[in-house]
Chains A and B, each alone.
Chain A
């Protein structure tokens, strides 16, 4: 057994070596455990939390926009959408095919959905269709057993109860485009909408609110297990506008199918009560996303439905400019109220002839008659005497020729020409004849409807430089401050002169022979004053003038005159001013003045000073305070 003993000794020695080796290896394990769990522990704890915890931004509800009485004009509505979670679906195409039997899915739509499905991780819901109606929701819910992974999801979407009638003022919201995703992380949320035009755009930051966040625990597949922490965001600021939604709606309907604009404002505060531009567009459609056909239709429409003509349309003011010229002439002292000019139907300057709109002429005309009958020759004469510089200065004091700083994007400044302007822009000196043209609001002079409303307001409020605004309060990114009473910045007009002009504007409407006498307001409490205008958009040739000037109805739409009207009411204690323009509508007295009358009468009946309180959207829709657009098509008279 000696051998076995040797063998045993060798075995013992070798076993000891093996045990040593194993001890070394086990120590390596212990060392590694110490390294991972003690030395590097913090790093891995962070990584584990990063694994486990996801931050999700919560979109705050967008601030609602209400009118001066609290009627909702833009609000958030529950939006039912159908979403698909690819990982729960299995065969996406088959599911889409089945869903297609319930709600029709177009080919392009399907392609888009399949691309989304491939792009996103399989547990991320893909939106198949938004703004489902109740019927579709019900039909999908009933069929869920056949539609694995398809769910109905409720979100909020912007809803404009007045739709097309407020489209230009309020603007619209739409998905964030690629260039805009900088800064706010909210913008990267899928489905987030931002203001793209109008009030929605200019007050976007205030309306947007600030994001909340939700801290959720997710598993390895990103599925939410539970919510750990949640901080609600700051909802968007509620905006109260100076607009009167009812007046806005009425004015919009009154313009009907015409292409035009109406601006009504408070002559003392500058608050805009109505701002209509027709044709409009459906802002709710923008929110959903327009099809390319719909977009092309909007773009190619001659009547430019996307442009807010009230602030972005440039029009020759025509005869509505005559008050400016008269005030300048009175101030310069080249005329008095009694100064008379003989109108033979035309006047000559050098070898050019300037015609009055009335072929036979007005005979002897003074200031009141010149305005009331809108005699062109009278204004050629007093413009010649006053000179373009004085006229331009007066126009600017009354709010023309420069942007007024309305809180709305896209405001244009108009154009009040002068010698200096002409040399700079055209490179030629001012011609005397051009002064005459400017005297009747033609030639280079361009204004926006808003400017005309402001001009009228400044004339009838005693020469106070009101500036227009749309919100009752001043809204900035940091919050809201009450709009202070406008400090009465006097533009230095002589009250007697203003009284003469107001008197003349009264005559225009309320005295037989005035150009707007046919459009006067009968009710004695609501009587208005005003001035009509007809702006020529084409040149009348000498030959045509000698034969017969074509009537508007004989011309193609694009060549017809613009019809204008500016007015105020009540005539004795003015509170509202109005500017109406109907593009290619014909004569101001026949077309624009009646519209102005109806809107001003409505404005007075509605009384902007009456109290109001906020109405929730649901109630507003239920009680039919707001007829939904499209409910009844107003007939155009």
Chain B
């Protein structure tokens, strides 16, 4: 903390020095314990995917392991990159992602009734997922550049509000309620952590609630249906409420210790929808019971705790905000998915992080965790308010 009190010039000098960390030093500073927890969590996912396929690595577990391997590699690459580089290119990254998101509107392939993919030939890119990271970077850079007085000025907040509103609107158009929700709440957390007055949130919230009836008009029928079904799932037991009811039955019947690995009757007899993706937590809780569910939740809490610690221990504001943003995004994945499968919130298509089958969310997460690790590696670095612009 002492170093933070030194003058601007010295800070810049030190920062330059710090950025000269050798590869070996960087590797040494990687939070390996955190990486281990990630691997442990993902392994739980592999086991569940193995069970979902009735005891086979095909078609899910093997591919998921491969993806995770590649993902970990990318994560470490990102971690090795100097945080200043991320600071420098954060707006550009955001702009490109926003453009891609716009392109989805025009050229996206139809999938699951919603346009979410760009076919790059080799991989399918999902800009809305990428946007979760880009948004964290852009907002962190913006708030990094402002001082406490700036934060108090409402006009200062207009730019970041626009940064949030533009992609959210595009994502909503797709339409992807879950991602929009995560973008808004994730950004809100950064606003909050940056020090925006609480009453301003209250005002926004009230305005939001007031305009909810208008927003309702813009929801697609299936989205409206999901909200209505959430409010009373038993009303329509064979329609949209079926998934939630079956999920609750699976969870509840798992009891304290579960039915045993690969013994979940609800999951294996197809009562459970999408057991390898959105409802994989239900399957875990059915087969391993409350104990298993809490175990996974424990791993998640460990990851969150590391995220918070890394953010709090970072000496530069950008790193702090990035760490905070990544951690919050991760938390939102966890909470929205688990709350959804337990019938606490409407069914929104959000996967369970590191567990659900699927590549895009995993890439987003590991990209985010790469940034988090980079924040950890560069935790002692001070970056001026004008950040990268000063140094390069």
Q: In the bound complex, do residue B5 and residue A45 qualify as a contact, i.e. CB atoms below 8 Å apart?
A: no
Q: In the bound complex, do residue A28 and residue B344 qualify as a contact, i.e. CB atoms below 8 Å apart?
A: yes
User: Measured between alpha carbons, how far is A41 from B271 in the docked complex, in Å?
Assistant: 17
User: Measured between alpha carbons, how far is A51 from B270 in the docked complex, in Å?
Assistant: 11
Q: In the bound complex, do residue B342 and residue A29 qualify as a contact, i.e. CB atoms below 8 Å apart?
A: yes
User: Measured between alpha carbons, how far is A32 from B266 in the docked complex, in Å?
Assistant: 19
Stretch binding the partner chain, chosen from A14-22, A184-192, A334-342, A471-479: A14-22
A197-256: which residues lie under 8 A (CB-CB) from chain B? 217-221, 225
In the assembled complex, B106 has its CB within 8 A of some CB on chain A: no
Can you name the residue of chain A whose Cβ is closest to the Cβ of B257? A37
In the assembled complex, A7 has its CB within 8 A of some CB on chain B: yes
Cross-interface CB contact of B324 among A3, A4, A15, A28, cutoff 8 Å: A15
In the assembled complex, B269 has its CB within 8 A of some CB on chain A: yes
A35-52: which residues lie under 8 A (CB-CB) from chain B? 36-38, 40-41, 43-45, 47-49, 51-52
Can you name the residue of chain A whose Cβ is closest to the Cβ of B252? A44
Q: In the bound complex, do residue B317 and residue A11 qualify as a contact, i.e. CB atoms below 8 Å apart?
A: yes
Q: In the bound complex, do residue B248 and residue A10 qualify as a contact, i.e. CB atoms below 8 Å apart?
A: no
Residue numbers in B under 8 Å from A217 (CB-CB): 265, 269
User: Measured between alpha carbons, how far is A218 from B294 in the docked complex, in Å?
Assistant: 30
Residue numbers in B under 8 Å from A29 (CB-CB): 297, 335, 338-339, 342, 344
Taking the nearest CB of chain B, how far is it from the CB of A399, in angstroms?
Answer: 64
Stretch binding the partner chain, chosen from B191-199, B202-210, B361-369: B191-199
Cross-interface CB contact of B289 among A37, A51, A52, cutoff 8 Å: A37
Residue numbers in B under 8 Å from A11 (CB-CB): 193-195, 312, 317, 320-321, 324
- What are the interface flags for A592-627 relative to B under an 8 Å C-beta threshold, 1 for contact and 0 otherwise? 000000000000000000000000000000000000
Q: In the bound complex, do residue B270 and residue A18 qualify as a contact, i.e. CB atoms below 8 Å apart?
A: no
User: Measured between alpha carbons, how far is A41 from B291 in the docked complex, in Å?
Assistant: 14
Q: In the bound complex, do residue A26 and residue B297 qualify as a contact, i.e. CB atoms below 8 Å apart?
A: yes
In the assembled complex, B331 has its CB within 8 A of some CB on chain A: yes
Cross-interface CB contact of A15 among B6, B289, B290, B311, cutoff 8 Å: B311
In the assembled complex, B4 has its CB within 8 A of some CB on chain A: yes
Q: In the bound complex, do residue B269 and residue A7 qualify as a contact, i.e. CB atoms below 8 Å apart?
A: no
Q: In the bound complex, do residue B271 and residue A19 qualify as a contact, i.e. CB atoms below 8 Å apart?
A: no
Please classify how large the interface on chain A is, using the bins under 10, 10 to 19, 20 to 34, 35 or more. 35 or more
In the assembled complex, B189 has its CB within 8 A of some CB on chain A: yes
B129-161: which residues lie under 8 A (CB-CB) from chain A? 147-148
In the assembled complex, B11 has its CB within 8 A of some CB on chain A: yes
Can you name the residue of chain B whose Cβ is closest to the Cβ of A50? B249
Instruction: Decide: A48 near B270, CB < 8 A? Known: A1-B4, A29-B339, A36-B342.
Output: no
Q: In the bound complex, do residue B253 and residue A45 qualify as a contact, i.e. CB atoms below 8 Å apart?
A: yes
Residue numbers in B under 8 Å from A30 (CB-CB): 294, 297
In the assembled complex, B293 has its CB within 8 A of some CB on chain A: yes
In the assembled complex, B251 has its CB within 8 A of some CB on chain A: yes
A418-475: which residues lie under 8 A (CB-CB) from chain B? none
Q: In the bound complex, do residue B195 and residue A14 qualify as a contact, i.e. CB atoms below 8 Å apart?
A: yes
Q: In the bound complex, do residue A43 and residue B193 qualify as a contact, i.e. CB atoms below 8 Å apart?
A: no
Q: In the bound complex, do residue B269 and residue A33 qualify as a contact, i.e. CB atoms below 8 Å apart?
A: no
Q: In the bound complex, do residue A41 and residue B308 qualify as a contact, i.e. CB atoms below 8 Å apart?
A: no
In the assembled complex, A290 has its CB within 8 A of some CB on chain B: no
Taking the nearest CB of chain B, how far is it from the CB of A191, in angstroms?
Answer: 27
Q: In the bound complex, do residue B312 and residue A25 qualify as a contact, i.e. CB atoms below 8 Å apart?
A: no
Q: In the bound complex, do residue A22 and residue B193 qualify as a contact, i.e. CB atoms below 8 Å apart?
A: no
Residue numbers in A under 8 Å from B193 (CB-CB): 11, 14-15, 18
Total interface residues on B, CB under 8 Å, equals: 52
User: Measured between alpha carbons, how far is A15 from B147 in the docked complex, in Å?
Assistant: 18
Interface class of chain A by DSSP: helix
| B271, B294, B311, B344: most-surrounded residue (chain A CB, <10 A) | B271
- What are the interface flags for A385-398 relative to B under an 8 Å C-beta threshold, 1 for contact and 0 otherwise? 00000000000000
Residue numbers in A under 8 Å from B5 (CB-CB): 1-2, 5
Residue numbers in B under 8 Å from A4 (CB-CB): 4, 317, 382
User: Measured between alpha carbons, how far is A218 from B255 in the docked complex, in Å?
Assistant: 21
User: Measured between alpha carbons, how far is A4 from B143 in the docked complex, in Å?
Assistant: 12
Q: In the bound complex, do residue A52 and residue B308 qualify as a contact, i.e. CB atoms below 8 Å apart?
A: no
Instruction: Decide: A44 near B312, CB < 8 A? Known: A29-B335, A33-B342.
Output: no
In the assembled complex, B27 has its CB within 8 A of some CB on chain A: no
- What are the interface flags for B238-265 relative to A under an 8 Å C-beta threshold, 1 for contact and 0 otherwise? 0000000010111111111000000001
Residue numbers in B under 8 Å from A3 (CB-CB): 147-148
Instruction: Decide: A37 near B195, CB < 8 A? Known: A22-B304, A47-B252, A220-B270.
Output: no
Q: In the bound complex, do residue B290 and residue A34 qualify as a contact, i.e. CB atoms below 8 Å apart?
A: yes
In the assembled complex, B110 has its CB within 8 A of some CB on chain A: no
In the assembled complex, A178 has its CB within 8 A of some CB on chain B: no
Residue numbers in B under 8 Å from A2 (CB-CB): 5
Cross-interface CB contact of A48 among B6, B7, B250, B256, cutoff 8 Å: B250
User: Measured between alpha carbons, how far is A25 from B194 in the docked complex, in Å?
Assistant: 21
Can you name the residue of chain A whose Cβ is closest to the Cβ of B242? A220
User: Measured between alpha carbons, how far is A43 from B334 in the docked complex, in Å?
Assistant: 27
In the assembled complex, A8 has its CB within 8 A of some CB on chain B: yes
Can you name the residue of chain A whose Cβ is closest to the Cβ of B286? A48
Cross-interface CB contact of B342 among A1, A8, A32, cutoff 8 Å: A32
In the assembled complex, B87 has its CB within 8 A of some CB on chain A: no
In the assembled complex, B301 has its CB within 8 A of some CB on chain A: yes
Q: In the bound complex, do residue B270 and residue A219 qualify as a contact, i.e. CB atoms below 8 Å apart?
A: yes
Q: In the bound complex, do residue B308 and residue A19 qualify as a contact, i.e. CB atoms below 8 Å apart?
A: yes
B341-361: which residues lie under 8 A (CB-CB) from chain A? 342, 344
Q: In the bound complex, do residue B249 and residue A48 qualify as a contact, i.e. CB atoms below 8 Å apart?
A: yes
In the assembled complex, B41 has its CB within 8 A of some CB on chain A: no
User: Measured between alpha carbons, how far is A10 from B149 in the docked complex, in Å?
Assistant: 12
User: Measured between alpha carbons, how far is A30 from B269 in the docked complex, in Å?
Assistant: 26
Taking the nearest CB of chain B, how far is it from the CB of A35, in angstroms?
Answer: 9
A534-561: which residues lie under 8 A (CB-CB) from chain B? none
Residue numbers in A under 8 Å from B324 (CB-CB): 11, 15, 18
User: Measured between alpha carbons, how far is A2 from B11 in the docked complex, in Å?
Assistant: 13
User: Measured between alpha carbons, how far is A1 from B384 in the docked complex, in Å?
Assistant: 9
User: Measured between alpha carbons, how far is A34 from B194 in the docked complex, in Å?
Assistant: 35
A80-133: which residues lie under 8 A (CB-CB) from chain B? none
Q: In the bound complex, do residue A41 and residue B148 qualify as a contact, i.e. CB atoms below 8 Å apart?
A: no
User: Measured between alpha carbons, how far is A11 from B265 in the docked complex, in Å?
Assistant: 47
User: Measured between alpha carbons, how far is A219 from B266 in the docked complex, in Å?
Assistant: 8
Can you name the residue of chain B whose Cβ is closest to the Cβ of A14? B193
Residue numbers in A under 8 Å from B179 (CB-CB): none
Taking the nearest CB of chain A, how far is it from the CB of B305, in angstroms?
Answer: 9
Q: In the bound complex, do residue B248 and residue A36 qualify as a contact, i.e. CB atoms below 8 Å apart?
A: yes
Instruction: Decide: A37 near B254, CB < 8 A? Known: A217-B269, A220-B269.
Output: yes
Residue numbers in B under 8 Å from A48 (CB-CB): 249-250, 252-253, 265-266, 271
Can you name the residue of chain B whose Cβ is closest to the Cβ of A46? B253
User: Measured between alpha carbons, how far is A298 from B148 in the docked complex, in Å?
Assistant: 102
In the assembled complex, A6 has its CB within 8 A of some CB on chain B: yes
Instruction: Decide: A10 near B195, CB < 8 A? Known: A1-B4, A22-B331.
Output: yes
In the assembled complex, A12 has its CB within 8 A of some CB on chain B: yes
Q: In the bound complex, do residue B297 and residue A18 qualify as a contact, i.e. CB atoms below 8 Å apart?
A: no
Q: In the bound complex, do residue B189 and residue A51 qualify as a contact, i.e. CB atoms below 8 Å apart?
A: no
Residue numbers in B under 8 Å from A34 (CB-CB): 290
User: Measured between alpha carbons, how far is A25 from B324 in the docked complex, in Å?
Assistant: 17
Residue numbers in B under 8 Å from A37 (CB-CB): 251-252, 254-256, 285, 289-290, 293
Q: In the bound complex, do residue A43 and residue B252 qualify as a contact, i.e. CB atoms below 8 Å apart?
A: yes
Instruction: Decide: A15 near B248, CB < 8 A? Known: A25-B335, A51-B266, A219-B270.
Output: no
Beyond contacts A36-B342, A44-B251, A47-B253: 14 other A-B pairs, Cβ-Cβ < 8 A, are: A12-B312, A14-B193, A28-B344, A29-B339, A33-B294, A37-B289, A44-B250, A51-B246, A52-B269, A218-B269, A219-B269, A219-B270, A220-B270, A221-B270
The 3 closest A-B pairs by CB, nearest first: A44-B252, A48-B253, A219-B269
Give 21 pairs: A residue, B residue, CB < 8 Å, sorted on A: A1-B11, A7-B195, A8-B320, A11-B312, A11-B320, A14-B192, A15-B311, A19-B308, A29-B297, A33-B342, A37-B252, A37-B256, A41-B255, A41-B256, A43-B252, A45-B252, A48-B265, A48-B271, A219-B269, A220-B271, A225-B269
List residues of B whose CB falls within 8 A of some A CB: 4-8, 11, 147-148, 189, 192-195, 246, 248-256, 265-266, 269-271, 285, 289-290, 293-294, 297, 301, 304, 308, 311-312, 317, 320-321, 324, 328, 331, 334-335, 338-339, 342, 344, 382
